[in-house]
Chain A
């Protein structure tokens, strides 16, 4: 009986460790993917210049067009990682000045899905930010 209890304890510990390691790898990869998407949204968003100001020789980023671009990128992006199959992305573009923009991409897990499957850990959102400036 003692051997069986020790076996069960090891099984529990090993299972928890394996699940945690897998979830942590997915979480770290999600962070990298969010950063890449945020960079794309901010980099592409910085190219969305207001045409009337550009004609006058000034660089002014159009926040509306940058936001639309970020939303288009999110709509067209598909990454086959487990968290992104069970969650959605949203983006928020904010002008820091006329010629600089910051985009935050936020991941929100679907109802009932957690980035960490162990019961004592819970993480349902993640966000990364990128900023670009014309010089």
Chain B
């Protein structure tokens, strides 16, 4: 009986490690997917001179499909107006962008450790610039 009670106490603690490992792998795959999609969209934006509405919509759709989250939770900030490789007024054309995607929980079994749900959310953010390759008309 004593062994059984000890097992009941230890088992949930040991299971957390298994769940945490699975969660880490899952988050890692999600982050790699987001990173790849944003990189591909950035290459498209270089050619188009901006993160156009189509590029932004395509990026949101792909992230949403891969991560299984609603498109409304994905935040993309970038100017829609085109910039050119060499602009007579602004010099070298640079496109700035910022993408934020909620990845999910950080710690498995948060209630066991008394962690609040809002403290256990990881939002992956990429902010950077890229040089436009679009030639001015």
Which positions in A face B, CB cutoff 8 Å?
3, 7, 10-11, 14-15, 17-18, 21-22, 25, 28-29, 32-33, 36-37, 40, 43-44, 47-48, 69, 72-73, 76-81
Give CA–CA (A134, B9) in the complex, Å. Answer: 65
Give CA–CA (A33, B35) in the complex, Å. Answer: 8
Interface residues on B, range: 20 to 34
B59 at the interface (CB under 8 A from A): no
User: Nearest residue in A to B20 (C-beta to C-beta)?
Assistant: A18
- Least CB distance from A5 to B in Å reads 13
Q: Would you call A47 and B85 a contact (CB within 8 A)? A: yes
Which positions in B face A, CB cutoff 8 Å?
3, 6, 10, 13-14, 17, 20-21, 24-25, 27-28, 31-32, 35, 39, 42, 46, 85, 92, 94, 96, 123-131, 133
The 7 closest A-B pairs by CB, nearest first: A44-B131, A25-B28, A14-B17, A80-B125, A78-B127, A77-B128, A76-B129
Residues of A within 8 A of B14 (CB): 10, 14
Q: Which of B13, B25, B31, B96 has most A Cβ within 10 Å?
A: B31
Q: Would you call B131 and A47 a contact (CB within 8 A)? A: yes
The main secondary structure of chain A at its interface with chain B is helix
Q: Would you call B130 and A44 a contact (CB within 8 A)? A: yes
Q: Would you call B24 and A29 a contact (CB within 8 A)? A: no
Q: Pick 7 A–B contacts, CB within 8 A, sort by A.
A: A3-B6, A28-B28, A44-B131, A69-B92, A72-B94, A76-B127, A77-B127
Q: Please tell me which one of the listed residues B13, B39, B94, B127 contacts residue A36 in the complex, with CB atoms under 8 A apart.
A: B39
